Amino acid sequence: DAVPEFYSRSLWHEVRQQMLERDWYRCQECGSDGKGQGLHVHHKTRNRAGGDETPENLVTLCNTCHRREHITERRHREVAVG
């Protein structure tokens, strides 16, 4: 998947920072502080599926949990389609 232009905009950087602060710079899945791998702000419902940038739709995840989440989402989509 190509990275949407939205992620390069200053609004996303502000929203991302707010979510990291809200989540105390911790992965909400495993509790990691992300040192050595980074933290991501993940959309629970993708923009393409009607998700938005509201706090309720965003969660802080470490790189490992973020990748795992996308793999799980991809598997669910494949099962639904095929």
pLDDT digits (tens, 9 = 90+) for 24-65: 999 999 999 999 899 999 999 988 889 999 999 999 999 999
pTM above 0.85, yes or no: no
Report which of 39, 35, 37 is spatially closest to residue 61, judged by C-alpha positions: 39
Q: What is the pLDDT of residue 81?
A: 75
Write the DSSP symbol of residue 53.
S
d(CA 11, CA 24): 20
C-alpha distance from residue 60 to each of 76, 78, 80 (Å) = 21, 25, 26
Look at residue 6 and tell me whether its pLDDT is greater than 80.
no
In terms of residues, how long is the chain? 82
